[in-house]
Structure 1
Amino acid sequence: MAGVFSDAERAAMQQAADERKATRGLKGAAKRDAEREACTAAIEALEGFDQTLASRYHLLVTEVAPDLDPKTWYGFPSYARDGKVVTFVQPASKFGARYATVGFQEDAALDDGPMWATSFAVVEWTDEVDQRLRELVRRAAG
């Protein structure tokens, strides 16, 4: 399988394994606290707009959907319910993209007919972006 995954993809898979190891044996509040700290550290490690987006999104999610627990997912700041990721921020720097991505996973309640979007490219935080993300997070959290 050599050459199938990029260096960035292999690094993300290693981060996911490290995340599981870091919380192995922890339960309840201790696990949530460790995951919250990992999310905060992941945000603080970002630079430029990636950090701005992740910081603002963190504040937005914790305000709009306080029942979602901050954690990391493949090294991305993410927010979960019962351990299942609902939404996340994929920094542009992670894969050398020209935009960061705010994404939603299967447990996000965004269903809208036979088709709906699950990820959004973000290049600037504006009032319009803030409002749209608030609506999406509110819906996603159920």
Structure 2
Amino acid sequence: MKARIPTFIAIFSTGLLVAGIASAQTQSQPMQQPATTSPTQSTSNVSVNNAGTNAGSSGANSATYNTAKGQVTVNSTMGSTPSTTSPPSFEQLANGKKYISKADANAYPPLANDFEYAAHNGNQVSKAQYERWVKDLN
């Protein structure tokens, strides 16, 4: 008799858990019209509108938040990617030295972002390392 009670409790609690999950998934929130107000810290309801996009076009996503002071709409889009077609020469970045330091790399943001990879986790980038990095860049 004692072995049946823990089994019964486990089955019963699992059933309640499954019923709660099913109930939570069937509830829906109404979509709300966007309004333009200033952002606030507290939010109570959120509705999200996803605009359909074609490949190659920038899509817009927006979310409307109900706050104590009114509705707030947040719009989000993808930014443009920087062009990496013509990186500067090694000599231009090295400023007469035989290496590019992390401070020198800041003159070319793609190299600054990739500095540890280009330097193989070192403190400077040699001419050979820079040429390999440029080759991998394009």
TM-score where L is the length of structure 2: 0.20
Q: Which has the higher contact order (CA 8 A, sep 6+)?
A: 1
TM-score where L is the length of structure 1: 0.19
Q: Which has the higher helix share?
A: 1
Query: Of the two, which has the highest radius of gyration?
Result: 2
